[in-house]
Structure 1
Amino acid sequence: MDAAPAIIDVRGLTKRYGGRVVVDHVDMQVARGRIHGFLGPNGSGKTTTIRMLCGLLTPDEGSGTCLGYDIRSESRKIKRHVGYMTQKFGLYDDLSIEENLAFIARVYEVPDAKRRVQAMLEQLGLASRRTQLAGALSGGWKQRLALAACLLHDPQLLLLDEPTAGVDPKARREFWDQLHTLAAGGLTVLVSTHYMDEAERCHRLAYIAYGQLLAQGSAEELIAGAGLATCSVTGPGLADAARALRAHPSLHVASFGAALHVSCASERELEAALAPLLGGTLRVERVATSLEDVFIALMSRSRDNYPS
């Protein structure tokens, strides 16, 4: 855990729907002024966890604080100091950018609302499009508008639920540059994402699969803690090699462009599995284990929590 004080500190967070445990005794601490990445497959419990943290859902078990407020008894206070950006664009398509922001400012009773809206238009590069209808914006511009709306009331914490889904690479890069600027100013960010390049830009990461938190730490700590040996396999006949390697239950095999990454917790097992490929047309070489290799290995060990 970072030396900075925790702005989120929860223990045993649990949520059930029917017979399914969608969040299973999750412990999480997020330090002030940090970008904390939240990763995992669809249906893993990320959104449910985020909603419990910001007071939109009450946990069935567990306790903790967000911004110093109890997540069970002080959820209304938490909501006043959090900016929450959902996966789906939630503003009004038939209002302009400026009209949307003015409406949100009134909802939050933002002091000196007109000045604050103008400042946010400038800060997020929206001023030149202020009169454009939100429904006519591209994905990247909608993302900027949604972020501006989250920041209007000067929150201490941003909760971003897959904010860059469907956004082009340039807009994603600009968005992340903005997040780092905000974090440098003391804002704390918890962001869920599926993109490995975005995960690597986070100060710390948490990986959840089927409701269970499987790993936490910086990218470097997660890679070191996984203890994987990894090789790259290239050359003709790669599809046949992939089928053969995937038959080994202890190997984790994934395609990376024109190469295969093959990882294993045992270096000896990895070498034994790859030995038949040596001396042929395929080339095998050791490579550094990537964050994506780690997440593929974590996912392969997790079990679906959907009730049978």
Structure 2
Amino acid sequence: MSQPSAPAVQVRGLTVRRGKRQVLHQISLTVPRGSITGLLGPSGCGKTTLMRSIVGTQIVESGDVQALGLPAGAPALRRRVGYVTQSPSIYSDLSVRENVAYYAALYGRDRDAVETAITAVGLGAHAQQRGDELSGGQKTRVSLACALVAQPELLILDEPTVGLDPVLRVDLWKQFRELAAAGTTLLVSSHVMDEAEHCDRLLLMREGHVLSESTPDELRERTGEQNLERAFLALITMGTAS
């Protein structure tokens, strides 16, 4: 069992290669517990590959990845780490409640946990609808409920707000903040820089490298930019110049 004070995620020298292309280049980082860490960068920069490495589903060339004090992908982490992919992971022929109940059964959670997870993502009124009757945003929320029902210590979310309307995005970030306040660690990826404002810490990626690991305020101070998107662009310029 890991120590509570230890980082939720610790990555050292992570290198991932696909064929002849190196996707991640000697990445090292930490994700503190009970926080929201934003993993931000343009599409194709390696965010999903990094998340898959932390979950333990990615073949890595070299480096060490620890989640909750254990090697990534260790069997003991299956009930402690939740992962929501970019594409909704639900069964289209099952209702919202049946989808969440299925995952609850896998994790040994009861009926109350199912209803709590459905309510948390705002789908109580749609609990009887089949997966193929839902909108894209609703499917994303069902996937999130399926992860939440396990009550994970570490929740990894790969671009969970893509394609959602602004009101729903605000609601989801409010839910993420409540989870972090209750002790859950969240690692949330996005290519939309304005979502960085919702995060306690930021990991900024570009072309398989981590450019910065800091708080939003530290990034502003380092670059002299108050707008986080301009701060990210300034960081790229600084890196190119050096």
- Same fold by TM-score, threshold 0.5 exceeded? yes
Specify the structure having the higher radius of gyration (Cα).
1
1:15·1:21 contact (CA, 8 Å) conserved in 2? yes
Is this contact kept in 1: 2:79–2:107, CA < 8 A?
no
The answer to whether the aligner puts 1:157 opposite 2:154 as a matched pair is yes
1:297 — aligned with what? 234
Alignment check: 8 A CA contact 1:54 1:75 kept: no
Counterpart position of 2:198: 201
Q: Could you list the structure 1 runs, at least 4 aligned residues long, displaced by more than 6 angstroms after superposition.
A: none
Displacement of 1:197 in angstroms is 2.3
Q: Which amino acid aligns with 2:156?
A: L
Partner Cα separation in structure 2 for residue 173 and residue 4 of structure 1: 30
For 1:39, the equivalent position in structure 2 comes to 40
| Structure 1 contact 56–75 (Cα < 8 Å) conserved | no
> Aligned-pair distance for 1:302?
6.7
Could you say what the CA RMSD is over the residues aligned between the two structures, in angstroms?
Answer: 1.9
Partner in structure 2 of residue 96 of structure 1? 95
TM-score, normalised to structure 1's length?
Answer: 0.72
- Aligned counterpart, 2:138: 141
Does the CA-based 8 Å contact 2:194-2:228 persist in structure 1? Answer: no
Deviation at 1:200, TM superposition (A): 1.0
Instruction: Find the aligned partners of 1:196 and 1:210 in 2 and give their Cα distance.
Output: 16
Alpha-carbon displacement from aligned partner over 1:92-128 (angstroms, at most 9, x marks no partner): 122110111122223x24243x232123223333222
Separation of aligned partners in 2, 1:81 and 1:131: 28
Pairing of 1:36-75 with structure 2 (within 5 A): 36-71=37-72, 75=74
In structure 1, the partner of 2:76 is 77
Higher relative contact order (CA 8 A, sep 6+): 2
Alignment of 1:238-277 (within 5 A): none
Unaligned regions of 5+ residues in structure 2, if any? none
Question: Map of 1:108-187 to 2, 5 A cutoff?
Answer: 108-112=106-110, 114-187=111-184
3-state SS of the aligned residue for 1:153?
Answer: coil
Displacement after TM superposition at 1:297 (Å)? 2.8
- Is this contact kept in 1: 2:81–2:155, CA < 8 A? yes
The residue type paired with residue 103 of structure 2 is I
Q: Tell me which residue corresponds to 1:257.
A: none
Query: How many Å apart are 1:289 and its aligned residue?
Result: 3.6
Residues in 1 aligned to 2:215 and 2:107: alpha-carbon distance in whole angstroms? 38
